[in-house]
Structure 1
Amino acid sequence: MKSELLAPAGSIEGMRAAIAAGADAVYMGGELFGARAYANNPEEEGLKEAIDYVHLHKKKLYLTVNTLLKNKELKTQLYDYIAPFYEQGLDAVIVQDFGVLTFLKKEFPKLPLHASTQMAVTGAEGARLLKKFGVSRVVTARELSLSEIKEIDEQTGVEIESFIHGALCYSYSGMCLFSSMLGGRSGNRGRCAQPCRLPYKVECYGKKTGSQKEEYPLSLKDMCTIELLPEILNAGVYSLKIEGRMKKPEYAAGVTRIYRKYLDLYEKNPASYHVEKSDFEELLELYQRDGFSQGYYRQHNGRNMVALENLKQQKKEKGVCQRDEALFHTLKKEYTEKKLQEKINGTLMLYTGAPAILDLEYDKIRVSVEGDRFEMAQNQALTQERIRKQMMKTGNTPFCFENLEIQTDEQGFLPMQSLNELRRKGLSLLKEQYLNSFKRTLPEKTGEQNNNYAESKSSELETSEEIYYYASVETREQLSAVLERPEITGVYFDSTLVWGNSVEQKLDQIVERIHKKKKEAYLMLPYILRKEKTDQIRKLIEYSAERLEGFLIRNVEELGLLEKMGLLNQAVCDFSLYTMNDESKCFFDKKGVKRTTIPLELNESEIKKRENSDSEMIIYGYYPMMISAQCLKKTCERCEKKADIVTLTDRYKSRFRTKTVCDFCYNVIYNSIPTGFLQEEEKIKKLGIKNLRISLTTERKQESKELLELFLGVYKNKKNVPKNVLEFTKGHFKRGVE
């Protein structure tokens, strides 16, 4: 199957430039719900014209609706937003939110749906689940290796799209709350402020690691895989995706034309694939951060992937020009300003005494138009040469003649104005008929959603209804502290507590301790599950399924795995399996999960309007800001294959504790201040939430005991909030996100 080169279009100009440079398809956002809210996204009419433009040139356009939607947005805006593009013939929608996925599948059944990289699909189980639900394409997590992608392809057969060039996020996409928690600009809502591009100091054991110049430990180099194209294609990737909707049209054109060149060369002669040095250097000139890396395709992480010194920023601060202006000027002339026209065939019949007839053909579309009568010439008859010269003037239309057959007796005359009008009418009809072949009829609304949205608030708990308290622990010290509290109904214990040797024995010991205290036991599965650990996790789940009450799952891969094993009735979905709206919660409820967790980015008012039955809310904890395949310790010091705590300090002296989770090879960067809802106790109890969680992460035993005493004292034992309470942030409970 021929592959697809997919280019970014942050604007109409960018779309035209990318198509001119050889893209098979473009992805772009509209006015709403795109992950690049600050790009120069077109309004409705502009986007409809863009859909027509790509179709006229036999290309495709995918619309980004890859953010999380709130209830009101989904119920009152989404249908009206998508409907005109659906009718226009939109080729696909890229989606992150399970609620959006469900809604679009229901309301627009003929619209192809692509699972965004924001879903962080890391393996075959997650991809299989999405395919089963109706997703036609999966955009893989950027952290996957070639072998992992190949396994997804071989085991599921789902169409795969993967990034091949451009910026890399430090965090797994969709698993980052850094920008959101620090400044209210949520990456899940398309407004990331890129805190990963700022300077930080990394400390290990209280000492700064790395040199003084290495101040950007979270800033990854851009990815360039031009030399890996054959391997990526052989791994089963169909759509080769270039990142860059926030960059200039010339960038999109320049990168696209080079990848187009080598993709075509490879398809013609795979054995002789070789990248010229000049082309690689041109990619560097277009954009780079301390050079390129080849991304994660061949390595799990590494210091060589990080732009530690950020030379680009240093030059910018010194006022040094970093751009090859001549190159950008050339790209602008050749692609951004280029007029594309498709070749058509035509037949013009001019016989005296009869009306002029023009037949046109493009692809499989044929049209015929009739013009003014071809009258007998009084003076000089029109020659074929004169007729042809006039008819070939197709101007700013999307067509030009490849072949134009002129049939005439050369005895008549027709004013040039009449020929122009005949050509205009014919080309206009050809365009209309061709575009009509893409258009759809809008299906009747299901009636399950309508624009007269009545806000259905969650019912407040009756005073007689009991609230259940849960605690999650990541250390044995924390577990001991939790087990001392009779108010705790259930305990989530991290899988790292049983990982390694004697897994079953360690699990039995912990579960026995928990059950002995008459509490429910839940195993917390890793934030990210990758191929090399899937079999071990599967065996652990099989062994523990009958021994405990359930599993806390954090990602699509684990969701798919438990569904395959028939254990979703034991699954508690953590906040990272987002249920921002009722439609998404309904998706998980229909899957039969035990509980969902309220997303961390909703405010009080939004939670109140959410359907909260069988949900759980975290009332205390250091929120995970990033889950990264990169390792701060490995980047700034060395890998010791030993779990540790590293400290990240920003410009304002805020300190973010970072846990190196070596068992599953990822880092968790926690917020500098824990989120705690003490004064909000009464408000939270009025939200209709029956399950509340205290999340312990890096706290020692004594601190854990004090926190449990504090929160359980206020919530369960009706104590007053102490005056000199610890410093807590309210997260998004008050301010929410845009």
Structure 2
Amino acid sequence: MRKPELLAPAGNWDALVAAVQNGADAVYLGGKSFNARHSADNFDDDELARAIEYAHVRGVKVHVTMNILLADTELKDALRFLRIVYNAGADALIVQDLGLIWLARLLFPDLDLHASTQMTVHNVPGATFLRDAGIKRIVLARELSLDEVCEIRKRAGVEVETFVHGALCVCYSGQCLMSSMIGGRSGNRGRCAQPCRLEYRLVDDKGKQMADSTKVGDYLLSPRDLNMSLHIPELIKAGIDAFKIEGRMRRPEYVATVTRIYRTLIDRAAQGGDYFVTDAETDQLAQVFNREFTTGYFYGVPGHDLMSYKRPNNRGIRLGRVRSYDRNTNQAEIELEAPLRVGDGIEVWVTRGGRVGTEVNEILVNGQNTSSADVGALVMVNLEGHIYPGDRVFKTHDAQLMENAVQTYSSSREIRQVPLDFKVRARVGEPMILEAADQDWVSARAATRQFGQNALNRPLTKEFLAEQLNRLGNTPFVLNKLECDLGENVMIPVSEINDVRRQVVEQITELRALLRKPKKACDSDLEIRMSVLLDDKEIDRTGQFPALAVAVGGAPETLAAVKNGAELVYFSGDQFKSKSKINAAEIQQARQYCSDAGVKFYLTTPRIAHDREIKQYLPLFQSLLEISPDGVMASSAGWLIALREWTDLPFITDFSLNVFNHVSALSLKQRGVSRVTLSTELTGEQIKYLAGRSLVDTEVIVHGVLPLMVSRYCVVGSVLGGKGENSICSGQCRNVSYALLDRKGIVFPVETDQRCLMHIYNSRELCLLDTLPSLVQAGPAVLRIEARRENEAYVALVVKTYRQVLDSLHNLPANPPDLQTIMEELVAGGPGFTRGHYYRGVMD
């Protein structure tokens, strides 16, 4: 059975060593900038080069992460860092930004590019789009089933990588704005604050709590951890090229333990025969970190079985229950369901008042001190708190497991060993020749300074040479084979043998470090080519004035938009179950409203569509072509491939494609896109810079309650509808509106679409009305109002207000209206407004 690559995380040097020594085939790590784990220690430029050399000597690949969106002002520095990565010999670059992909392919065509999971690839056309852009491997969205993964691998002609262990995001990666909009810490920029791990209450549109948090739990958006250890053979048979362990923010002990176990399991599966996971392996994976485990979406949509509603952090493993508690001595009696040692950390889930944790400093069994106790023992340990009989006890830290893990990366004796084949030739009157070669055909040769002499007592033997040559000490090498060509009665001093052994090992080490290094990229040449590629002269758009567009969710809203001055209507591809269902006749009616008023009408695709859903959508799309829409808004890259064979209509891209710089916009233009919607995380200055230099028309969202998350997990269906791994949803979302209430009393509306995906919306309404004078000057072709979930009254009011302001700015630019007053009147009575990132940007 073919072995997939085992890819382990390295957030710092110790984690790198832990991954390598415990059997990783490759590691992924980031520099100090431009990576999606900004809070990890990461590697400076010198450490990065040293890390790559360390890994390559031991036969391990290094994938460097540059998996964030890049601003225009960062592109040159990003490419200079990329030159460092390339010259250091990195095996692959993990990327998110479309512009960086385009530039990297031109400047470093020999460097393999891997598409980050942040690129939200979840269907065959999306994978095909990136393959054609020069991507060799795609880290697929975590929301795919195993069958879908297999289909993409077979049909897209690109390598695929999937996560097999570690933390899960509740949102499709690359589509989450929650951390960004709430606190300015963007996941797309490597600074996610994980608001999904906080407490929420599910409420209806009147604020009534819909689920008992004491029974369900407080953490409605916190998934369990992925654990595919029981299913390794199935994943291998699916053709997955790389198994990825999540965890660049994890401790080296975690990396060591999880990598070691998955190395063992992959090797075990590849041997064939009956596959198994031992109880010890299962327990150690749970002990090192878990929020409970799940197989994610590999075998279907798990609903509530995906989630860790009761706890957002490590549970450890169950140790037992408190049988009795003496409040005078603070001694708790526990019958052990797992071994316990002095130095372990335990936590009691107390009946009243949360949790109590402590490090075990003393264990009593039958009144006697002991350093450890096994399963079944009745022990007394010291615990302080509101503890009662029956409370559950968990072991959250296993001192022995951690100590064993530390040894794998702190010991000078290496676990990872590279076998060497030695050849020795020795003759009296000649220097001894030592040759060495590894399994990658790297070889070295050295000769002793002294000639062979007649042995007085002990001539050289193969056994003696094997003993001496295998003294490879603190190197990663080990003797594999030894061939000897020895003259009669020849002797060489031991010091000479040791010296040539050292010489060939040093040569092999240096050659292995250079094995994957490319021809060094010239600094001056790169600067010249960058200046050409990043020629970002401002484009003269004198006389251009932006059109006003509106994204709507129904025919009545279309009519309201048309009557009040919209010049372009986007008809929503996502239909929400809280609204009445849209049919082809309603879409045709909306088209007619636009045609009668001379307003352009664009069809909008669903934001998330797996291959099965694309297949279901195509007949509808073909029928809608009969109403002659003016264009199509693609909400993901896959639609640019899936729909292009059916129409030559103009394509524009939605904000979900995360266009953050003018090179990304250019790369989409070269794929046939006529206009790009800019990222909602850009500042006003960044919009001005990008729009003023883009060779393709740009669009900016100026108003609306924006979606913060799109998730295949539905909180309504899981908490209220009973959706689980083995149960279907009862459909509680139909014609009802829900929301999530956070611990500060802030309300985030929730919608469920026609494919049962959950969309979480911002608590505040984006309103950039008072920035319109600056936005108009910035040069975007279109300004958009997002109103897909709003009613016709909302659409009428907002469109009319923006139309009046834009007309005033167009006709009387020297005498703008009182925008502050107009804006206050517009948002009065609403949920509150925000200018998003227009002024504050995202945290760098």
Measured against the shorter chain, the TM-score band is: over 0.9
CA shift, 1:197, in A, is: 0.5
Whether the 8 Å CA contact 1:204–1:633 is kept in 2: the answer is: no
Give the one of 514, 517, 542 matched to 2:622: 542
Alpha-carbon distance in structure 2 between the residues aligned to 1:170 and 1:373? 68
SS in 2 for 1:694: strand
CA shift, 1:389, in A, is: 5.2
Give the one of 448, 470, 473 matched to 2:552: 473
Whether the 8 Å CA contact 1:460–1:686 is kept in 2: the answer is: no
Change (3 A) 1:235 1:204: farther
Change (3 A) 1:502 1:331: closer
Whether the 8 Å CA contact 1:461–1:687 is kept in 2: the answer is: no
Bigger mean CA deviation after superposition, 170-179 or 394-403: 394-403
CA shift, 1:645, in A, is: 2.6
Alpha-carbon distance in structure 1 between the residues aligned to 2:645 and 2:789? 33
Whether the 8 Å CA contact 1:457–1:609 is kept in 2: the answer is: no
Change (3 A) 1:449 1:618: farther
SS in 1 for 2:602: strand
Q: Which residue of 1 aligns with 2:656?
A: 576
Runs of 5+ consecutive residues of structure 1 not aligned to the other structure: none
Give the one of 626, 634, 640 matched to 1:553: 634
Matches within 5 A, 1:607-626: 607-610=687-690, 611-612=693-694, 613-626=696-709
Q: Which residue of 1 aligns with 2:451?
A: 374
Whether the 8 Å CA contact 1:374–1:414 is kept in 2: the answer is: no
Whether the 8 Å CA contact 2:11–2:30 is kept in 1: the answer is: yes
CA shift, 1:586, in A, is: 0.8
Does residue 1:299 correspond to 2:300, yes or no? yes
Matches within 5 A, 1:500-649: 503-545=583-625, 547-565=628-646, 567=648, 569-610=649-690, 611-612=693-694, 613-638=696-721, 639=729, 640=731, 642=734, 644-649=736-741
Give the one of 430, 442, 446 matched to 1:365: 442
Alpha-carbon distance in structure 2 between the residues aligned to 1:355 and 1:284? 57
Does residue 1:344 correspond to 2:435, yes or no? no
Give the one of 681, 700, 704 matched to 2:795: 704
Matches within 5 A, 1:385-396: 390-396=468-474
Whether the 8 Å CA contact 1:467–1:692 is kept in 2: the answer is: yes
Alpha-carbon distance in structure 2 between the residues aligned to 1:230 and 1:43? 38
Q: Deviations over 1:26-56 (max 9, x none)?
A: 2221222211111121222222222223322
Q: Which residue of 2 aligns with 1:720?
A: 818
Does residue 1:442 correspond to 2:520, yes or no? yes
SS in 2 for 1:438: coil
Change (3 A) 1:343 1:234: closer
SS in 1 for 2:160: strand
Amino acid at match of 2:50: E
Amino acid at match of 1:688: G
SS in 2 for 1:536: helix
Change (3 A) 1:208 1:510: same
Alpha-carbon distance in structure 1 between the residues aligned to 2:744 and 2:541? 42
Computing the radius of gyration from Cα coordinates, the structure with the larger value is: 2
Change (3 A) 1:607 1:276: same
SS in 2 for 1:609: helix
Q: Which residue of 1 aligns with 2:400?
A: 326
Change (3 A) 1:408 1:46: farther
SS in 2 for 1:450: helix
CA shift, 1:375, in A, is: 6.7
SS in 2 for 1:703: helix
Does residue 1:10 correspond to 2:84, yes or no? no
Q: Which residue of 1 aligns with 2:751?
A: 659
SS in 1 for 2:819: coil
Question: How many pairs does the alignment contain?
Answer: 730
Q: Deviations over 1:268-321 (max 9, x none)?
A: 225x223333322221111111x1111011122401111111174795963356
Amino acid at match of 1:395: G
Whether the 8 Å CA contact 1:458–1:687 is kept in 2: the answer is: no
SS in 2 for 1:513: helix
Whether the 8 Å CA contact 1:70–1:581 is kept in 2: the answer is: yes
Change (3 A) 1:449 1:203: farther
Alpha-carbon distance in structure 2 between the residues aligned to 1:309 and 1:533? 33
Alpha-carbon distance in structure 2 between the residues aligned to 1:39 and 1:285? 22
Alpha-carbon distance in structure 2 between the residues aligned to 1:412 and 1:90? 45
Alpha-carbon distance in structure 2 between the residues aligned to 1:644 and 1:106? 51
CA shift, 1:195, in A, is: 0.6
Alpha-carbon distance in structure 1 between the residues aligned to 2:574 and 2:194? 30
Whether the 8 Å CA contact 1:177–1:625 is kept in 2: the answer is: yes
CA shift, 1:143, in A, is: 0.3
Bigger mean CA deviation after superposition, 396-405 or 144-153: 396-405
Q: Which residue of 2 aligns with 1:249?
A: 252
Alpha-carbon distance in structure 1 between the residues aligned to 2:181 and 2:312? 28
Bigger mean CA deviation after superposition, 368-377 or 496-505: 496-505
Amino acid at match of 1:185: R
Q: Deviations over 1:240-279 (max 9, x none)?
A: 1111111112212212222222222222225x22333332
Q: Which residue of 2 aligns with 1:490?
A: 568
CA shift, 1:475, in A, is: 4.1
User: What TM-score results when the alignment is normalised by the length of structure 2?
Assistant: 0.81
Alpha-carbon distance in structure 1 between the residues aligned to 2:513 and 2:266? 28
Q: Which residue of 2 aligns with 1:129?
A: 129
Alpha-carbon distance in structure 2 between the residues aligned to 1:565 and 1:329? 61
Alpha-carbon distance in structure 2 between the residues aligned to 1:548 and 1:565? 13
Q: Deviations over 1:172-210 (max 9, x none)?
A: 000001111111111011111111001111102432122
Q: Which residue of 1 aligns with 2:280?
A: 278
Alpha-carbon distance in structure 2 between the residues aligned to 1:691 and 1:157? 37
Q: Which residue of 2 aligns with 1:675?
A: 766
SS in 2 for 1:143: coil
Bigger mean CA deviation after superposition, 502-511 or 384-393: 384-393
Alpha-carbon distance in structure 2 between the residues aligned to 1:678 and 1:430? 66
Alpha-carbon distance in structure 2 between the residues aligned to 1:154 and 1:655? 44
Whether the 8 Å CA contact 2:9–2:245 is kept in 1: the answer is: yes
Change (3 A) 1:497 1:430: closer
Q: Which residue of 2 aligns with 1:732?
A: 837
Matches within 5 A, 1:84-233: 84-206=84-206, 207-213=208-214, 214-233=217-236
Whether the 8 Å CA contact 1:455–1:609 is kept in 2: the answer is: no
Whether the 8 Å CA contact 1:645–1:660 is kept in 2: the answer is: no
Whether the 8 Å CA contact 2:572–2:788 is kept in 1: the answer is: no
Q: Which residue of 1 aligns with 2:330?
A: none
Bigger mean CA deviation after superposition, 309-318 or 354-363: 309-318
Alpha-carbon distance in structure 1 between the residues aligned to 2:246 and 2:455? 63
Whether the 8 Å CA contact 2:551–2:569 is kept in 1: the answer is: yes
Give the one of 769, 773, 778 matched to 1:687: 778
Percent identity over paired residues: 31
SS in 2 for 1:208: coil
Alpha-carbon distance in structure 2 between the residues aligned to 1:90 and 1:252? 21
Q: Deviations over 1:314-340 (max 9, x none)?
A: 959633562222211122224553513
Change (3 A) 1:644 1:34: farther
Alpha-carbon distance in structure 2 between the residues aligned to 1:700 and 1:336? 63
Alpha-carbon distance in structure 2 between the residues aligned to 1:427 and 1:511? 74
Whether the 8 Å CA contact 1:199–1:216 is kept in 2: the answer is: yes
Runs of 5+ consecutive residues of structure 2 not aligned to the other structure: 316-346, 348-353, 360-395, 722-728, 810-816
